[in-house]
Each structure stands twice: as C-alpha cells, then as structure tokens.
C-alpha cells in the first residue's frame, strides 16, 4: 500500500513496487519486498554483490564515500550499491541478472514465443 509523501521504488525485472522511506536503503527495501539482491556483507559496502542500476541519479542520495572508492567510474554509468543507496523520489532500480538466470529466462521467452506462434498457426 502506498503511503502519502513516501516515494515508491520499483524493482526490475519483475516490476514489484514498494514505498521507500528515506531512512531505508534499497537493500533493506528489496528484502521487505521479497526481491533478491545478493549480499554477503549484510550491507556494509564490503562485498560489492549488491550492485544495481538507477535510472535517475537525482532520485537517490549522492554516492557515499565507500561507493566512490569501490565503484569509481561505474558511478557515472548509474551503478550504485543497494546497501548504500536511499530513495529521495520515485525511482526504478534495475537488478542485474546473473548469467545463468539470464540464459534460462531468454530461453523460456523463446519457447513461450514459439508456443504462441504455433497456437496462432493452428
């Protein structure tokens, strides 16, 4: 349920949205939304597993010192650490898929498309 004056964050792929109070990191919000963002360091900018892509850098806090040190030029490409990023206004977060998951998803999409084309021809 959307809370008034609280921005929403949308996680892609999947499209789940959740209210994003400013004191919560995107990593914390993803856990609340039951969206998996990998972590090994539990949110202390130590593992770099929680990389996400932000579509609008003005919608989140400025990069932390830890992000500047660890991500360097990736920051300019919109890459952030979910554990260090907090939402200021409505934003979409892209969670990179691991390679195996990406291959499986694309294969399933091709199969589904093939089934739909077969149905259309029948």
Interface with ligand FES by CB under 6 A: which residues? 27, 39, 41, 43, 45-50, 81, 83
SS (H, E, C) 44-71: CCCCCCCEEEECCHHHECCCCHHHHHHH
Q: Which residue is nearest to ligand FES (CB)?
A: 83
How much is the CA Rg of the chain, to the nearest whole Å?
Answer: 17
DSSP single-letter state for residue 42: S
State the nearest-atom distance from the C-beta of 25 to ligand FES, in Å.
Answer: 8
Rounded to whole angstroms, the Cα distance separating 33 from 14 reads 11
Rounded to whole angstroms, the Cα distance separating 75 from 67 reads 8
State the nearest-atom distance from the C-beta of 67 to ligand FES, in Å.
Answer: 9
Q: Measured from the CB atom, is 40 or 119 closer to ligand FES?
A: 40
State the nearest-atom distance from the C-beta of 32 to ligand FES, in Å.
Answer: 15
Q: Measured from the CB atom, is 66 or 106 closer to ligand FES?
A: 66
Q: Measured from the CB atom, is 34 or 110 closer to ligand FES?
A: 34
């Amino acid at each position: 349920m959307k809370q008034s004056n609280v921005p929403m964050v949308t996680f892609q792929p999947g499209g789940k949205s959740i209210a994003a109070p400013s004191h919560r990191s995107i990593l914390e919000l993803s856990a609340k939304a039951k969206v998996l963002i990998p972590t090994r360091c539990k949110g202390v900018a130590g593992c770099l597993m929680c990389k996400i892509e932000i579509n609008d850098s003005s919608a989140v806090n400025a990069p932390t010192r830890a992000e500047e040190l660890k991500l360097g030029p990736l920051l300019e490409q919109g890459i952030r650490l979910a554990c260090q990023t907090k939402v200021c206004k409505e934003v979409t977060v892209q969670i990179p898929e691991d390679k195996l998951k990406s291959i499986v998803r694309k294969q399933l999409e091709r199969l589904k498309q093939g089934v739909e084309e077969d149905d259309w021809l029948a």
